[in-house]
Every structure is written in C-alpha cells, then in structure tokens.
Amino acid sequence: MSRVAIGNAHVALDVRFFASLLWMEVGRWGWARDSEHGRQVWLAPCKWLSLCELYLWQPITDSNSDTGEEIKEAVRGMIEEMGRPNIADSFPFLKMIDPQGIRKRNNIYFRKMLDLFDTIINQRSKLGAKSASGKDTDILDILIDLTENAEDKRVHEQLQKSTIGHLLLDIFGAGTETTSATLEWSMAELLKAPEAMSKAQAELEQVIGKGKKMKESDIPQLPYLQAIIKETLRLHPPAPLLVPRLAESDVEVCGYTIPKDAQVLINVWAIGRDPNVWENPDKFMPERFLKSNIDAGGRDFELIPFGAGRRICPGMLLANRILHLTLGSLLNSFDWKLEDGVEPDTLNMEDKYGLTLIMDQPLRAFPTATST
C-alpha cells in the first residue's frame, strides 16, 4: 500500500510548487528572535518547523496553528520512545507486561496523531481538491484524489480514506526528524568548514545567480552541493542502524552464523567511518565525492543511509529533493556565521543517539541576506 501511494504521490507532486513554496517560506521557516542581540537566529530543529511538514502540508506549519504544534510534539515523543532501549527486546516474554511503559506511551502518541490526521483529512475532503479550484496541490490532495478517482483497481483496493492517516503517520514519523536533522548537520559541518561553504556559494552563484531562486532542474549542475549532501549522510546518517531486518533462514556471513528469525541491525554509521573504505573517515571532505561514482541510492554499500534492496526507504527521492533545494536555497540566499563566542573549531558536534541521530546541542546560526 505504501509503495502504491508514495509512488503516485512522488510522480504527481509538482516540484515547481515545491520550489516556489520554499522560496516564499525561506525567510520565515525556522527563525526566532535573539532578544539579547536583536538578531534572527536559525532554530529550525528546536522549533520543529520541519521541512517535510512545510512541503507536504503547508497549513499545519502556520506558526499560529495548534494542530501543527501538536503533531510536532507527538512526532518528537514517538521517535524518542522508539529509540529508547527497551528491555522487552532482549526478553520477549516481557512484551505483554511492558515494564518500562514504552509501548503504552507510544500508543498514546500514535492515537493522538491519527486523530489529528483524521480531522484534517475530513476537513480537506469537504473542501474538495485544491487542484479543482486552480490552486496548488499537495500530497494530501493527491492521496485523497487517488482514493476517489484512481482508475487503477489495485489502488482502490489498497488505499482507502481510512488508511491515509496511517500512511501519513509513516511519512511524518519517518520523514520529519530525519530530514531536518540531516539539514542541521550539513549546516553545522559547513559552518565548521567555512572554505567548503564558500565553494558551495560560489558554485550556486555561478550556476543560478546570487540570491536567485533555485529549481530542481539546477541540482544536476551543482556537483559540489551534491557532494556536501553525500558527505553529510556519510558522517551523520539519519538512521544510524537503519530499520531492523529479520533473517528469513539460517545464513552465514563472514564466518558468523545468523539464525533464522534473528533481528539484524546494519550499522551504517560505522560503515561510513570505516578507515578501510574512506580516507580520513572522520573529516568532512565533500571533495572525496567529486571524482567518485559512489551514490547514496543503495547500489554502493559504502554509502547506504537510506538502506538498500527491496526495503530501501520509499521516501529517498523526495528526501533528496528537499535536502538539495533547501540547503542550496539557504546558502544562496544568506551568508551565515556562528553566534558570538563560538568559533568553528569549538562548535559542539556531539550527537544524541536515538532512533535518529540529532545534534546534542541544537545549532544556532545567524543569517545575513546576500546582496544580489
């Protein structure tokens, strides 16, 4: 069901709308006022004005929307609970008891999100598709349209209005913190390496023009920007252990026997820092990808932040769009510096482990609009 819906949504999503929305929101998204110095500071991860919410569902990102805040809080709580070590994973007989209360708290978050989604879906259904009124179409419109007007019988059978909420739960649960965390890490690495940021801005100025709007069609002409995203995903994979796999049969790997039904975790964080594969593995060096054909699409096992094979992340293509368009737009629209008293060498790059890999101390950076 997810493959049918996500596949259709990715094809139907108007990227020109996506880019236009980003351009309108880039000056508003994730900003807060630093009262002490009277300047604006980038606090996107703290404020949870997440990219996925912004591009997939514009109304809930309104700063005055209680619904948006409730969803952000529920997503954050859900991810924290899912990433919390659970003793029941080691002793399955404890699952029914739920000694730490993790399952109980997660069920509360799930139910809260589904109730919020159902309310929004019903409101949107009553309003009718935006496309019919000549307005821009988002993914929710596409999903509703698929349930009502799809010619493919298989879509009708697998995607009903009652399942849209569960699909959106997957999209928001898997796509919000992972995307915003990757963007935050990329900005932190660039602020720590100003020469890399200068190279990226010079490339953007040459290809697009300083301060001008970036389009998806520009991405293939920006190899250094692509290299920055790859290098960020190598050093800071959003899901460091991916999603657990289950062995279908006994199998031997590198002399180790993995029994049938064993849960398998893939440590992509360690793969991305393996000195046998990468030169200076702990150093942020986007240049390593300029002369390399290694891709993050699941074909090269040195770099698999989205997984690989049949169970690769279904949102990979959309995540790539979001990351490149957003990072490129932020770099081309603003000059950046760290807050007073913080030097690149002293920037805290410690991570906070969980289901997703986020910065232990959220990034604070000050923007200045570039002059065209």
DSSP letter assigned to residue 350: -
Q: CB count, 10 Å around CB of 301?
A: 12
The partner residues of 263 in beta bridges, in order of sequence, read 246
Contact 181, 188 (CB under 8 A): no
Contact 360, 351 (CB under 8 A): yes
Q: With the C-alpha atoms ordered 143, 149, 155, 160, is the resulting torsion angle positive or negative?
A: positive
- For the chain, count helices (H), then strands (E): 14, 10
313 annotated to a ligand binding site: yes
Cβ-based neighbours of 32, under 8 Å, separated by 6 or more: 40, 41, 43, 46, 47
- Alpha carbons 103 and 260: distance in angstroms, whole number: 26
- Alpha carbons 79 and 58: distance in angstroms, whole number: 22
Contact 216, 222 (CB under 8 A): no
Burial class, 238, CB count within 10 angstroms (exposed 0-12 / middle 13-18 / buried 19+): buried
- Alpha carbons 318 and 6: distance in angstroms, whole number: 10
Q: With the C-alpha atoms ordered 177, 326, 225, 349, is the resulting torsion angle positive or negative?
A: negative
What is the gyration radius of the CA atoms in the chain, in angstroms? 21
Work out the widest C-alpha separation in the chain, in whole angstroms. 64
Contact 40, 367 (CB under 8 A): yes
Residue corresponding to tokens 């690495």: 189
Give me the phi and psi of 251, to 5 degrees please. -145, 145
The residue type found at 342 is V
- Alpha carbons 238 and 325: distance in angstroms, whole number: 18
Task: List the binding residues.
Answer: 313
Task: List the binding residues for heme.
Answer: 313
